[in-house]
Amino acid sequence: MSMDHQAPIEDIIHRIDEVAEKNERIQFGQVMDAVGRNSFASLLLVVGAIMLLPGPADLPGVPVLLGAIAILLCGQMLAHRDHVWIPDWIERREISQHKMKKMLDWLRRPAAWLDSMTAERWTFMMNHATISTLAVAAILVAMSTPVLEFIPFSANLAGGAIFAFALAILARDGLLAGLAVCISIATFGLVGYQFFVS
């Protein structure tokens, strides 16, 4: 369910970059193979990163699609599956090498800093119950994406929450897990506010 890496973000960027170097168009299934189909948190980190980055999450329908993938991943985490299953039509979704490189370059800038800021701390929180709670929280955040499409930059906030959930699991960082919960609460607050003013 997690990986033992000192720099999980940089490691994932490196793996995806190797795929991008060899292909003019990259399918999501190829990204899954590179990251590891048995590492739910790593794949969730990728989904959260795409939502967090400026550009992709602003396209109509993209936040909902990414939210659906996040729900699939977290649901399978809760079901204790050994490896990830994603529908073929999602696996075949493609992105150009240029766009992939652009996203990786954008993510590479803060990657080393983010990896350096994470640590195995408050590990007493990172038990099975907490990880399951984070998975449920990520599902709830992902379920809000249809509403977030109508709120500028809110999908990026949801992506930040999902990204933080995944990184907390990978790094066994209980403090980051708490921060991720705070981001998710802010996301829910934004959704609630949107309903209140509409």
- Average pLDDT on 178-192 reads 76
End-to-end Cα, the chain, rounded Å? 40
- Average pLDDT on 172-188 reads 81
- Average pLDDT on 12-35 reads 93
Burial string for 43-77 (b: 16+ CB within 10 Å, else e) reads bbbbbbbbbbbeebbeeeebbbbbbbbbbbbbebb
pLDDT for 27? 93
Matching residue, tokens 């400026």 = 54
Half-sphere exposure of 10 (CA within 13 A, CB side): 13
pLDDT for 137? 86
- Average pLDDT on 156-174 reads 86
- Report the C-alpha gap between 136 and 145 in whole angstroms: 15
- Average pLDDT on 103-109 reads 88
Q: Which has the minimum average pLDDT: 6-10, 45-49, 94-98, 170-174?
A: 6-10
The per-residue pLDDT for range 62-82, each reduced to its tens digit, is 888 999 999 999 999 999 888
Tell me which amino acid residue 4 is.
Answer: D
- Report the C-alpha gap between 13 and 105 in whole angstroms: 9
Share of the chain above pLDDT 90, in %: 26
pTM for this model (two decimals):
0.83
Burial class (CB in 10 A: 0-12, 13-18, 19+), 22: exposed
